Structure 1
Amino acid sequence: MEGIDMFIYALLGLLALPVLWAMFGGVRIINQVERGVVFRFGKARAQVREPGLTVMLPLVDRLTKVNVQVITMPVPTQEGITRDNVSVQVDAVVYFRVSDPLKATIEVQDYLFAVGQVAQSSLRSIIGKSELDDLLSNREELHKGLELMIDSPALGWGIHIDRVEIKDVQLPESMKRSMSRQAEAERERRARVITADGEFQAAQKLSDASAIMSETPGALQLRMLQTVVEVAAEKNSTLVMPFPVELLRFFDQAAQGGSPSGRTEVSQDAIAPPSLGEAIARPSLGE
């Protein structure tokens, strides 16, 4: 009797194993950063499984997990020739994520490899369409154009391109030397222009100052005294005294017989010396 009971218990245990496996074998856990795509008899189900606990039919369903986080993909360095015939090497980085897990699973075999190849070909195309100045200084427009070129085929794969950026532009050594000489010449040109502009403004100010001093002679005297004070403050052994021009004019007017304020007209007869006969005929003061 005990042997029959043991046989029955063993048989029930064997029958319970498939039941337990059928109940718990189809249970899967999907992480927060993933989405689940279920294939039933090889055909994808339209409903995408959300994060958490999900139940499938054993031996019937197959679960494929798809990561929906933002993926950072570096684009290898691409060599090309710009529109102005300059050979450059450019590398970039692409930020994208899976927006439709069902399309990313069934529309493309490997969406990571596909996005990488599209990014490389688009980068080479952008290099050929752009000039060197755009690659160096106007990258925002190139980023938008590159993002649009990659996003067009990626939409059909359920991929959303968040951002594309050009990281580095490598130039030939000869081009670097030429650009260095050009930058140096530009800085020298700006320095000369600034110096000439400063001299022009200084000349204008000096012209205005001379016009004011010519109207008020006293201002020139004050300026002379100020210069003397500045020279004396340097503790020099030699003191240079400027000679005012007005004083020379005063002596010139005095030598011509006039006053500084007004000139007195003198006739030629009054200042002409007497002749020899008149001097002999004219009596002297002693007589």
Structure 2
Amino acid sequence: MLVSLIIGLVLLLIIILVFIGMSLRQVKEWERAVVLRLGRVLGIKGPGIIFLIPFVDRPVIVDLRIRTVDIPPQTIITRDNVTVSIDAVVYYKVVDAIKAVSMVYNYNQAVINIAQTSLRDIVGQMELDEVLTKRDEINKKLQEILDSYTEGWGVKVTSVTVRDIKISPDLLSAMAKQAEAERQRRARVIVSEGERQASSILAEASKQYKDNPQALQLRFLETLTDISQKGGLIIVVPAGQELYPTISLATSAGEYLRQRINPQS
């Protein structure tokens, strides 16, 4: 009789321990447990140790950390009939665990599907140049569309980033040629503009030299000074009385002095 009582107590203790073990559940700091009691939402519990009624309560663990979803490369035809391949990254987090459990079957897969279709719609309405230069605008539009869907799921999209845009090699080569031609056009425009400005300045300078011949002579002498700095050159300078009277006068004076010093030369 005593042995049977001891065995019964041991079995009862084991049952109680098993019951307690099944009733207690640990929830991490970044998680929440949505408790379903007989199929109905009871509430949110956690973090820490939570108590559940075995076979009656069922917890659904929801991660509240920011999650990253990769959008697979999408082959899209732009508005100007150019085929591009685009992939992106979506960052989101759960802000309402009850909605995330009760309003959508798999919110992670739902976010991926909505992101794919929305990215196709946005890029399909843009031309290639806009797609390549307006990534921020694509990111903003895609985030707004995703938020409009995920708000009712208790999910908040924090950021969307277009990661890579790929186009065909033939189109890349054509774009490179176009860019090179554009650079050459700009270079020619700059050179032409410089020549136009230089001609205007020279025309203005010629008027000033015409009104002031001494300034022209000084400019000529400066030019000779610059040229004379280069060794190994023979400079023949016309010094007629009509063109450069100052130089002509200096040359005549030098010739007169040379004849006085060396009359037999």
* Same fold? TM cut 0.5: yes
Asked whether 1:79 is paired with 2:75, we answer: yes
Q: Is 2:231 the counterpart of 1:235?
A: yes
**DSSP 3-state at the match of 1:66:** strand
Match of residue 12 from structure 1: 9
Q: Which residue of the partner structure matches residue 270 of structure 1?
A: none
Change (3 A) 1:216 1:16: same
Contact 1:224 1:242 in 2 (8 A): no
Measure, in 2, the Cα distance between the counterparts of 1:134 and 1:237: 60
**Which residue identity is paired with 1:204?**
S
Who is 1:204 aligned against?
A: 200
Structure-2 separation of matches of 1:75 and 1:174:
26
**2:173 aligned partner:** 177
1:49 correspondence with 2:50: no
Distance 2:202 2:225 in 1: 21
CA distance in 2, matches of 1:224, 1:122: 73
1:115 and 2:111 are equivalent in the alignment = yes
Report SS of the residue matched to 1:48: strand
The aligned amino acid for 1:209 is A
Rounded Cα–Cα distance in structure 1 between residues aligned with 2:24 and 2:211: 106
Tell me how far 1:34 sits from its aligned partner: 0.8
Amino acid corresponding to residue 23 of structure 2 in structure 1: G
Question: When the two structures are superposed, what TM-score results if normalisation uses the length of structure 2?
Answer: 0.86
1:21 to 4, 18, 24: 18
Q: Distance in 2 between matches of 1:110 and 1:245?
A: 101
Misfit runs of 4+, over 4 Å: none
Aligned Cα RMSD in Å? Answer: 2.0
For 2:143 and 2:190, locate their aligned partners in 1 and report how far apart those are by CA, in whole Å.
43
Percent sequence identity is: 39
Unaligned 5+ runs, structure 2: 247-265
CA contact (8 A) 1:70 1:96 kept: yes
Of residues 17, 32, 35, the one that matches 1:35 is 32
What is residue 129 of structure 1 aligned with on the other side? 125
In structure 2, the partner of 1:271 is none
1:232 partner letter: S
- Report what 2:158 is aligned to: 162
Write the distance in 2 (CA, Å) between the matches of 1:162 and 1:200: 54
State the shift of 1:48 in Å: 1.0
2:230 counterpart letter in structure 1: E
* Counterpart AA for 2:19: A
Q: 2:85 aligns with which of 84, 89, 99?
A: 89
